[in-house]
Amino acid sequence: MRSVIQRVSEASVTVEGTVVAAIGTGLLVLLGVEEADQQEDVVWLAGKIAQLRIFNDDNGVMNRSVADSEGSIIVVSQFTLHAQTKKGNRPSYIRAARPETAIPLYEAFVQEVKQLSGCQVLTGVFGADMKVRLLNDGPVTILMDTKNRE
């Protein structure tokens, strides 16, 4: 699993002209699932994101989690995070999981983040053409990959 985690002042997801998710302070998580992913990837990544201390404390130090900051989370599926660009100019998405693999892992990830963070967790619509708006706070943007646990 790959994710792009962004600390936001606000974010929203619109599908076919309708806002399906909107938050104020919190995290926007773009999540890509690949064929090799399993439940252990879900647990590891959800745990890291739920506890990620990237919100400022009273001294202006990034020392609080999203839950500590009383924030919310939006999780958006994004298979393009697994783009391979080594050869040519047209990305290949061969490593991205097919829906029958990706959807259950995506849904498990959402539930795990909800349980571990205790925050409101909203989602986009899996497989839909989504318009994502955000106001990145900082900016703070973190990349995580369960196959490269740095």
Please give the positions annotated as active site. 78-80
Peptide bond into 91 cis (omega under 30): no
Tell me, rounded to whole angstroms, the distance of Cα 48 from its chain centroid: 11
Identify each DSSP E strand in the chain by its residue range.
2-15, 18-23, 26-32, 55-56, 62-64, 72-77, 121-123, 130-145
Distance, in Å, from the CA atom of 42 to the CA atom of 32, rounded to the nearest integer, reads: 11
Per-residue burial over 69-100, b = 16 or more CB atoms within 10 Å of its CB, e = otherwise: bebbbbbbbbbebbbeeeeeeeeeeebbbeee
